[in-house]
A and B are shown apart, each in its own frame.
Chain A
Amino acid sequence: MKYDNFEFEDFLKDEQFVEWVLQPTEESNFFWTSWLKHHPEHREKIVLAKEYILSIKIREPEYKVDPKEKDKIFEQVLENRKSDSHWKLFEKRDRGKAYYSIAASIIVLLSLGIWYFSQFEKSTVTVPQLVVKSNPAGRTSRIFLPDGSEVKLGPESRIEYSSSFNAETRSVKLTGTAFFDVYKDPKKAFVVEAGKLTTSVFGTSFVITMKENRNVDVALVSGKVRVEADGHSMDLLPNETARYKSHSKKLEKSRLDYDGDIAWIHGILAFQSAEITEVIKRIESWYGVTIKMEGKVSDYGKLNARFDNKSLEYILNALTYSLNIKYEKNGKEILILKQ
């Protein structure tokens, strides 16, 4: 019998033994109990080996998917809906890359030819191109920059960067709202330009929001950033927000407002004593709809609300109750009426 001369470690390495420990069946229980009866001298080793194996656990992730979400994903699978839009971004980027590498090899070939005739020419020359990623209303996407930094781009927002990004500098131009999780590289500052405001960092995460009136907010989640506008500059620490007001050209510091600045990354739409016009603007941009409203702004009062990954209908219904309104929905157009 192969087990007769087994040592403690041999049991640890044995597939059948481990299988019995992890997934005992009637057969394996019978086999091992009767084997032990005949070999009581192995008992100690086996008990110890069993205990070692059963005591191995892994630290489970703190994050669990709740059953509702599990059902939702299942429905999407049944409807054959592939996951988020960010795969499409990946695919696009890939295609871009392929062209790029073909272009690069042609350039290399060409320049080799040139080199043959004139050895003074430099070899590879690539002309940097502008890469643009943008979202329409109703869509957020995730973008990975060539240096490994991650950008969550909000609805109605766009970023631009050069195809030579990360070669010498890392600079991005932003319109709209984006969350940046910057890959740490002390040698190359990561610079975001949003309107008049420039934010430079080395490795950190923060949110920049550029508003319609050209005001810009920079909310810092972790690390340290430097913000500059109109010759003024300011260093931010985590949980601080820099607000740039375009008409007064002033740069001010305030505490980070989670709901206002950060929550959207997690799919949360939140308002704090917001006027109906702001609420409507956010909903339009969030869901890609247009909303028309009857009456004056002052008719509606101010609103506090927090919607955690809710549908448009859910939010409209909530508004119906709290603001005493009715709504009519016609495709992508919504009309809000007073009761």
Chain B
Amino acid sequence: MKLHSVIKINKLITAETNRGKFSDKQHQPESKESGNRYSDLELWQMFKKGHEGAFSIIYNNFFDIMVSYGHIFTHDKELIKDCIQDLFIDLRSSRNLSDTDSIKFYLLKGLKWKLAKYIRKSQSFVSLADKHTAILTFEVSHEFRLINHQLESDRRSKLSQIMNDIAPRQKECIYYFYYQGFSYKEIAAIMKLRSVKSARNLLYKAIKSLKRQLER
């Protein structure tokens, strides 16, 4: 059937692309590999023109990232899966979408709105931001050893503790900037900030409070 051929195509193409720009930190790329055939913009435009293979690549490349992102806002895995499903259906039924050079940003933003909509409706949480403190948990990893430097272990554990103590919005901002690699412009959009400058200020504040705590 058609469906199966789509999945097959997608598996062929993913093998070549999943190390590209849209791979996230979990599969840390050493450098952008030359085998990467499509940029985000190209892939997105192909999808908009109705290319089911492109849609399938997008789905398969970002699904796990979206699930992981959803967990920042709720523990309800069914809700996350449902929202992802509905988001992809919406995208597919209205291909008249704006262009993007970061599909990841586009999808995470869409997912956040969907989740927020349902979480607010369900009234089971007072506000999305309040929940962050409980759910988004940073860990400072032990794996990285660069040539001469290494975060000593007490400094490391102190850092992860401090990172989880800062204000929820600062935390969310740090997550986007250092974990998802979003630009200030993207952060402003996804966090509904007034301007790029507000996004900058939010991050500066976050760094400042981290620094203040660390120096104590």
Do the beta carbons of B136 and A58 come within 8 Å of each other? yes
B30 lies within 8 A of chain A by Cβ: yes
Is B137's CB under 8 angstroms from A59's CB?
yes
Closest to B124 in A: A148
Contact partner, B32, options A23, A53, A76, Cβ 8 Å: A23
B-chain residues with CB within 8 Å of residue A61 when the two chains form the complex: 67-68, 71, 77
**Contact: A144 with B122, CB < 8 Å?**
yes
Interface residue? B38 (CB, 8 A):
no
Instruction: Determine if B149 and A47 form an interchain contact, defined as CB atoms under 8 angstroms apart.
Output: yes
- A residues near B139, Cβ cutoff 8 Å: 57-59
A185 at the interface (CB under 8 A from B): no
Cβ contacts B44-65/A at 8 Å (1 or 0 each) = 0000000010001001100110
The complex places the Cα of A90 from the Cα of B121 at a distance, in Å, of: 8
Contact of B86 among A51, A83, A148 (CB under 8 A): A83
Judging by beta carbons under 8 Å apart, are B211 and A9 in contact? yes
Cβ of A41 within 8 Å of any chain B Cβ, yes or no, is no
- The one of A53, A78, A84 in contact with B3, judged by C-beta atoms closer than 8 angstroms, is A78
We find that the number of chain A residues with CB closer than 8 angstroms to chain B is 57
Nearest residue (CB) in A for B30 is A24
Known: A59-B139, A94-B121. A82 touches B86 (CB 8 A): yes
Q: Are the CB atoms of A83 and B7 closer together than 8 Å?
A: no
Residues of chain B from 68 to 100 with CB closer than 8 A to chain A in the complex: 68, 71-72, 77-78, 81-86, 88-89, 92-93
Q: Is A58 within 8 A of B175, CB to CB?
A: yes
Q: Which of A11-19, A116-124, A215-223, A283-291 contacts B (4 or more CB under 8 A)?
A: A11-19
A50 to B147, CA, bound (A): 12
Residues A84 and B7 in contact, CB atoms below 8 Å apart: no
Which residue of A9, A61, A84 has the most chain B CB atoms within 10 A of its CB atom?
A61
Q: Is A26 an interface residue (CB 8 A)?
A: yes
List A117-155 residues whose CB lies under 8 Å from chain B. Answer: 142, 144, 146-150
Interfacial chain B residues near A80, Cβ < 8 Å: 89, 92-93
Residue of B31, B85, B118 near A24 (CB, 8 A) is B31
Please give me the residue from chain B that is nearest to A22 by CB atom: B181
Q: With A13-B207, A53-B178, A58-B139 as known contacts, state yes or no: A25 contacts B31, CB within 8 Å.
A: yes
Q: How far is the CB of B33 from the nearest CB of chain A, in Å?
A: 10
Interface residues of chain A: helix, strand, loop or mixed (majority):
helix
Query: What chain A residues lie within 8 Å of B6 (beta carbons)?
Result: 78
B190: Cβ under 8 A from any A Cβ: no
The reply to whether B156 and A65 form a contact with Cβ atoms under 8 Å apart is no
Q: Could you say which residues of chain A place their CB within 8 Å of the CB of B29? A: 23-24
Q: Contact string, A38-72, partner B, CB cutoff 8 A, digits 1/0? A: 00000010011011111111111101110001110
In the complex, A9→B212 CA distance in Å? 12
| A110 on the B face (CB < 8 A) | no
A147: nearest chain-B partner, CB-CB? B123
Residues of A contacting B184 in the complex (Cβ-Cβ under 8 angstroms): 15
The answer to whether B86 touches A29, judged by C-beta atoms less than 8 angstroms apart, is no
**In whole angstroms, how far apart are the Cα atoms of A74 and B159 in the complex?**
39
User: Given A58-B138, A63-B77, A84-B82, A144 and B123 touching (CB < 8 A)?
Assistant: yes
Q: Which of A12, A55, A59 is the one whose CB lies under 8 Å from B151?
A: A55
Query: What are 7 A-to-B residue pairs whose CB atoms are below 8 Å?
Result: A19-B181, A58-B137, A61-B67, A65-B67, A71-B7, A74-B7, A149-B124
A residues whose Cβ falls under 8 Å from a Cβ of B: 9, 12-13, 15, 18-19, 22-26, 29, 44, 47-48, 50-61, 63-65, 69-71, 73-78, 80-84, 86-87, 90, 93-94, 142, 144, 146-150, 183
8 nearest A-B residue pairs (beta carbon): A83-B82, A61-B71, A59-B137, A22-B181, A144-B122, A148-B124, A25-B32, A77-B88
Residues of chain B touching chain A, judged by Cβ–Cβ distance below 8 Å, are 3, 6-7, 21, 25, 29-32, 52, 56, 59-60, 63-64, 67-68, 71-72, 77-78, 81-86, 88-89, 92-93, 118, 121-125, 136-141, 144, 146-151, 156, 159, 163, 174-175, 177-179, 181, 183-184, 200, 203-204, 207, 211
